[in-house]
Amino acid sequence: MPNADNPVPVICVEGLTKRFDRVTAVDSIDFTVDAGSTTALLGGNGAGKTTTLAVLLGLLIPSAGTVTVFGADMIRDRHRMLGRMNFSSPYVDLPRRLSVRENLTVYAHLYGLSDAAGRIRTLARELEINEFLHRPFGDLSAGQQTRVALAKALLNEPDLLLLDEPTASLDPDTGDWVRAYLEAFRARTGATILLASHNMAEVERLADHVLMMRTGKVVDRGAPTELIERYGRRTMEEVFLDIARNRGGASTEAAQ
């Protein structure tokens, strides 16, 4: 039975495999994500990160294995949990002809918010998007679209926030501001965050735990400081390059 010293993980993945015809995108991976933590899912292009996030969202059905979120099986019972989750990616467009306000209003109603206008006002102020609420989403810069996508993901104040490259296309100052906002959001709400990122400085700043993927497998894991020490490197970027190029370091089994 769960207790205060051994809480149930928010995410529990066991033996997760996803195949597309003859291609195995995710190959029998296991991991957990603790409540209130920020976990980074890292790896080069094709490592399996996006496929893993899609399975967690219930957008893809696993070929094998189990995925539970808040204790619910995401194959059979995902609709019970989707209201507690949200997702943001700069690579997933919102309707481009709708204004920012119209987009956020549509999603607010889809999420069943009782005061959609009030929530949009709050997020517009907090994320500094007031000046372009009236503009079509398709007319925004890439950085502005990233901020709007984050606002969409925060409409329902999710207990679990899945982020794919949350600061992509942002200038350094705005990217730093967004990272500070995410830190404050987690501290205020106790939300759990799982993020995929290629920004290793971002990972060092935000993540409590890191899962390193290569060719569909989790090949190492640990806190950023543990991984840096284990690989004898100075930064997570150097660790990332070692793992992506399969140079030295510890195996997953050694890291557990």
Dihedral sign for Cα atoms in the order 250, 218, 236, 227: negative
* Structure tokens belonging to residue 207: 């993540």
Average pLDDT of the chain, as a whole number: 91
Q: What is the dihedral of CA 67, 70, 71, 74, to 10 degrees?
A: -40
Dihedral sign for Cα atoms in the order 111, 175, 89, 198: negative
> Which residues in 218-233 are b (16+ Cβ under 10 Å) and which e?
bbbbbebeebbebbeb
Whole-number pLDDT of residue 2: 42
Three-state secondary structure readout of 226-242: HHHHHCCCCCHHHHHHH
Domains and CATH numbers, the chain: 11-91+158-255 (3.40.50.300)
> pTM for this one?
0.90
Per-residue pLDDT of 110-149, as tens digits, reads 999 999 999 999 999 999 999 999 999 999 998 899 899 9
Pairing outcome for strands 11-20 and 23-33: antiparallel
- pLDDT reading at 6 higher than 80: no
Q: CA-CA distance, 68 to 218, in Å (whole number)? A: 18
Per-residue pLDDT of 157-206, as tens digits, reads 999 999 998 888 788 988 998 999 999 999 999 999 999 998 999 999 99
